[in-house]
Amino acid sequence: MTILHKRKEEDIISDLIKGKYYKKDGNFKYLLKLYINSFTKEKLEKLKNEIDNLYIEINTLEKISIKQLLLNYLNLFKINYT
């Protein structure tokens, strides 16, 4: 774990570039502006669960044909808007 406390922002950015982190809108503000509670055990477990659920959803969707997927969405639309 890299320590951020009492480091120059330019040094942190340099480390992010070396680590090939994703730039959003051409910068690292989304990482540099994180709240400290973003690093708690509970928050990390919640994020891991969300990732796991997304993988399950992706795997489920990959098993459905495009035709069936469109029919499912049309049925949902029909139920919600008629």
Mind listing the pLDDT tens digit for each residue in 38-80? 889 999 999 999 999 999 999 999 999 999 999 999 999 999 9
Nearest residue to 19 (alpha-carbon basis) of 40, 2, 4, 35: 2
pTM of the predicted structure, to 2 decimals: 0.56
Phi-psi region of 64 (alpha: psi -120 to 50; beta: other; left: phi over 0): beta
Q: How confident is the model at residue 36 (pLDDT cuts 50, 70, 90)?
A: confident
The residue that leads in pLDDT, 7 or 39, is 7
Q: How confident is the model at residue 2 (pLDDT cuts 50, 70, 90)?
A: low
Q: How confident is the model at residue 37 (pLDDT cuts 50, 70, 90)?
A: confident
DSSP string, 49-66: HHHHHHHHHHHHHHTS-H
Least confident of 1-15, 16-30, 32-46: 1-15
